[in-house]
Structure 1
């Protein structure tokens, strides 16, 4: 029998430690990714096809990995329920649409309170993303629900008007019933039109049956819903691109991740933002082509009529901001910062919504 001396036993222990240490340090993290919409929606498709693969690629060669579970299309949370799913720990990361959280994420909905902004998605998304770095209340609203705002701000392209009748001027809207989603109903106040609240599941039938004579909508949704079949007059009004949400993580989970994993996730968010915007531009072009080929007439509202429309609206932004100010939130600061940054970016605003 071979004798094992203390020295040899010590050397053997050191060798074993050298072999086992890397394996002991390596760690796989479980992450459920949530989105209420199905992957047919570009932001979910990009989350699955760009964000996750980019994070995985960044982690190659490190001692860490992420074991992903993808839960989309209502399998874990319905549309508007993603924030609660992450807050409750059912998911660790995902897409949260601030558009569907007007109370909990009120400040994030600034673009809907300032119509006729920029049609440029890069300007709009980058501006709201950047404001999260500079306005503490914007991050605070996420952090109150144990959320880490990662960025990758996404949203919807320049909204427009589709009607059963031709629109050359603001006067053409008088007495007309127009469908509009949520806060966009306010974009019709003072125009003479009658706002009829609706959503993508009701627009086609509402127009077909005469409940409404038109709709405020974004091109990619309009083409997919074939709204041009019932509202063939497409008027590019320039309501502006709209910020709708971002990628967020459960903060208590994210904060415990190693620096390498956090860095990989951040790189994935940047890749998501770039891919989403490129994909959105392609889809917008395809949407207009589909509508034209389907018999739609596409026109642009004259600049003077666009300005007249913007000026006819009540003080939407001011009312929105002052209401939030009264709740102890930075409503006026958010509106004023957003307006200033659009102007700094060279955006031609038919109405400056700066709050006095």
Structure 2
């Protein structure tokens, strides 16, 4: 039995009769996308835009059927599920896969770049053009398609606010990636919980605070259970994007592959527009509902940046141990951040030109 046939048989069993491999019909090819988040908020809008673009550009020959809310698989099962063919593609969050998605995790490092569009453009170019990253993904039967970002990392709490880094001590905090590790090193009691369950955690007292992203707070209605929200302007969790099953991708024609890849690249500009607007609107919503919005003092922010530096070094070491040149990738990525930061300064964002 070939690998492709094994995958199709496994997919059929797991989906209780639904077809999750590329399905050819008289109307063209339908690709199934698994998304753990709900069908609301900026990311959902960008994902739907991506699906619509693929349909329109292909003249209806390619269709993407998005399965929302973890209907196919949860966020912490996305890599295995897409690689095994449970879906043709899916949204992958790198922090849930510190080993498998280590290369993509470069976008999660606290590199003092909270700008969503700059981060997405830098990440997209690196993931799309690095032969070593492409080969690493191929080993997992994956192809990179496009990227989102959580945008700038902030923190929302019930009870006492975080007004300085000393306020982190002894708080029960949901955090992820290097940011979560720094919260723990500064005395926070870390709670392993996904962002999709943070509402319940804050509401029941399992959490005092949750690492958050402005648009996600309102998309997940967490403003209902928060009392304050502290702006950190530290960095972002940008290792969030679309991966495709390599067998499904390879089964497409060259023209169809180009349609998918072009829409994935363009998604960074569309999501940049959406997320910038959504973040501003979310802050307004929080203020309107009585949530105190606080900006962390610069001295405290500098201490967060310094505390995160060793986690950048650790990422480089781990990449080297995995057989990829971490130092070169980091240098290239920082150069791309500088490139797109300069473009933003010179030309503005694409949607304002």
With the shorter chain as reference, the TM-score category is 0.7 to 0.9
Structure 1 residues 186, 51: closer, same or farther in 2, change over 3 A? same
Q: In the alignment, which residue of structure 1 is the partner of 2:155?
A: 161
2:104 corresponds, among 100, 104, 108, to 108
Q: In the alignment, which residue of structure 2 is the partner of 1:286?
A: 281
**What is the count of residue pairs matched by the alignment?**
316
The CA distance in 1 between the partners of 2:104 and 2:230, in whole Å, is: 27
1:89 corresponds, among 80, 85, 91, to 85
Root mean square deviation, CA, Å: 3.1
Quote the offset at 1:160 in angstroms: 0.7
Q: In the alignment, which residue of structure 1 is the partner of 2:324?
A: 329
The CA distance in 2 between the partners of 1:101 and 1:249, in whole Å, is: 16
What TM-score, normalized to structure 1?
0.76
Larger Rg belongs to: 1
Q: Is the 8 A contact 2:93 2:240 kept in 1?
A: yes
Residues 213-248 of structure 1 deviation map (CA, whole Å, 9 limit, x = unaligned): 323211123234554455423211113222133333
Note the 1:136-151 alignment, pairs <5 A.
136-150=131-145
What TM-score, normalized to structure 2?
0.76
Residues 180-238 of structure 1 deviation map (CA, whole Å, 9 limit, x = unaligned): 23553212144344433333355345445555432321112323455445542321111
Structure 1 residues 259, 298: closer, same or farther in 2, change over 3 A? same
The CA distance in 2 between the partners of 1:326 and 1:203, in whole Å, is: 34
Large movers: runs of 4+ above 6 Å? none
Q: Does 1:213 align with 2:208?
A: yes
Structure 1 residues 340, 187: closer, same or farther in 2, change over 3 A? farther
Q: Does 1:244 align with 2:235?
A: no
The CA distance in 1 between the partners of 2:51 and 2:110, in whole Å, is: 34
Which moves more between the two structures, 311-320 or 114-123?
311-320
Q: In the alignment, which residue of structure 1 is the partner of 2:21?
A: none
Q: In the alignment, which residue of structure 1 is the partner of 2:52?
A: 53
Q: In the alignment, which residue of structure 2 is the partner of 1:73?
A: 69
Q: In the alignment, which residue of structure 2 is the partner of 1:5?
A: none
